[in-house]
């Protein structure tokens, strides 16, 4: 049905588009700019209008013009161009046809095996065609699967003008993986009534509830003296770092939480006796619990500072995004249409909170309700990433059905 979907996906994942958290440019890497040019050409070639690249935010946008006389909402579809912080050069996709449910040797030389013993989700894909990595890179289905699914759906509608549809807006943006891309998204210019990010996992995922999220950096100023004469003089910044982390709830960390349980996640710790730095991310679906978590970390720092005659620990904390449910539940059209589309295609909607966030988490708070649809990939952000061809086709079908239902 979507004849160009797989070829386009392979073409896109071979283009390196890794984002860079340390960069000060927009987008954060030039490779994303180059990929945007490829996308613009492809979007023009299939016949979309208003194809544009916004140099202020790095987004490629395009329009599928309405062919129906029925007045209908404008629906948008959004996906991101960048890949995560893992090797993304020389991506070499492998095809596993009619998967039999056993171990997949990704790289014999390196001993990299994709096994259902480690990843039970593989058992859901027996008899399907999997696209995997070669064990040395990520795949890039997050989120190039989303991009090609959106393009395939609108391309099909362009080639079948007998199917009535309203106006559809497309946006492909940078730097989602470093949490910066959506900050500059131009909702007014996009001009949609509601939208979807196509950035989820397995078939059926429909998500409109995300974490509230914050990032915190803690700086610790120690006092280094010779260890032989250190009594009552040395202040070891590394020891203080460990004491701070011990003040936080031991089991409220990613490896011990699930569903709507929030957490503190120590993502990095470095330093010497003289100085140390810790980075945390703080997550919770409940806004009140989220605020309490942030305050708990601040209180722990204040308590440790009381032990000294000067402030040894300082913190910089910044909210990153909020639970998009707060916005979307005020206008549930996007969720209702997506649910109806899946059910009409015999796909069971999986409506669960995201233990993370999407660009929609920010865009929803800009005034555009934007839940998240499945893109089909699994095991994102590493060498074990894979996607089934059947999953990508299903996502394209759901996108197309949503577009049709908006008019109906």
Can you say which residues are annotated as belonging to the binding site for Zn(2+)?
80, 142, 177, 199, 381
Task: Please tell me whether residue 176 adopts helix, strand or coil conformation.
Answer: coil
Q: Is the dihedral of CA 24, 25, 27, 28 positive or negative?
A: negative
329 is catalytic: no
Output the known binding site: 80, 142, 177, 199, 381
Catalytically annotated residue among 42, 143, 155, 176: 176
Give the distance from CA 9 to its chain's centroid: 18
258 is catalytic: no
Q: Is the dihedral of CA 137, 143, 144, 145 positive or negative?
A: positive
DSSP state of 174: S
Q: Which two tokens stand for residue 166?
A: 């309203």
Sequence-distant (6+) residues with CB within 8 A of 178 are: 19, 20, 21, 28, 82
270 has which bridge partners?
277
Q: Which two tokens stand for residue 173?
A: 């943006």
Contact present, 153 and 399 (Cβ < 8 Å): yes
Calculate the CA dihedral of residues 31, 198, 396, 326 and round it to 10 degrees.
-160
Task: Please tell me whether residue 27 adopts helix, strand or coil conformation.
Answer: coil
State the alpha helices, DSSP H only, in 47-120.
none
Neighbours of 255 (CB within 10 A): 7
Neighbours of 404 (CB within 10 A): 18
Catalytically annotated residue among 16, 20, 42, 82: 82
Catalytic residues: 82, 176
């Amino acid at each position: 049905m979507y004849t160009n979907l797989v070829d386009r996906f392979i073409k896109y994942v071979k283009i390196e588009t890794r984002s860079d958290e340390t960069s000060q440019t927009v987008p954060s890497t030039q490779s994303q700019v180059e990929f945007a040019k490829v996308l613009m050409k492809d979007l023009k070639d299939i016949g979309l209008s208003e194809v544009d690249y916004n140099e202020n935010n790095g987004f490629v946008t395009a329009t599928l013009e309405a062919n129906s006389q029925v007045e209908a909402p404008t629906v948008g579809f959004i996906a991101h161009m960048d890949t995560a912080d893992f090797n993304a050069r020389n991506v070499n996709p492998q095809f596993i046809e009619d998967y039999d449910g056993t171990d997949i040797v990704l790289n014999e030389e390196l001993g990299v095996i994709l096994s259902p013993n480690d990843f039970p989700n593989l058992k859901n894909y027996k008899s399907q065609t999997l696209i995997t990595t070669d064990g040395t890179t990520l795949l890039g289905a997050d989120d190039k699967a989303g991009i090609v699914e959106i393009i395939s759906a609108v391309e099909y509608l362009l080639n079948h003008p007998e199917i009535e549809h309203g106006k559809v807006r497309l946006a492909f943006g940078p730097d989602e993986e470093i949490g910066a891309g959506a900050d500059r998204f131009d909702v007014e210019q996009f001009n949609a009534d509601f939208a979807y990010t196509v950035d989820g996992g397995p078939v059926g995922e429909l998500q409109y509830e995300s974490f509230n999220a914050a990032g915190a950096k803690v700086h610790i100023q120690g006092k280094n003296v010779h260890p032989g004469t250190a009594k009552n003089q040395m202040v070891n910044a590394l020891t203080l770092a460990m004491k701070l982390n011990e003040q936080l709830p031991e089991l409220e960390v990613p490896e011990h939480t699930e569903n709507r349980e929030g957490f503190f996640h120590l993502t990095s710790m470095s330093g010497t006796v003289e100085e140390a730095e810790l980075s945390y991310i703080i997550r919770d679906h409940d806004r009140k619990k989220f605020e309490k978590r942030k305050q708990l970390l601040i209180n722990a720092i204040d308590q440790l500072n009381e032990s000294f005659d000067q402030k040894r620990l300082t913190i910089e904390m910044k909210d990153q995004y909020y639970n998009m449910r707060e916005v979307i539940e005020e206008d549930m059209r996007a969720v209702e249409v997506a649910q109806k589309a899946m059910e009409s295609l015999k796909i069971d909607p999986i409506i669960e909170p995201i233990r993370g966030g999407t660009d929609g988490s920010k865009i929803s708070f800009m005034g555009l309700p934007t839940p998240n649809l499945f893109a089909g990939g699994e095991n994102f952000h590493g060498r074990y990433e894979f996607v089934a061809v059947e999953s990508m086709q299903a996502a394209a079908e759901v996108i197309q059905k949503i577009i049709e239902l908006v008019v109906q």
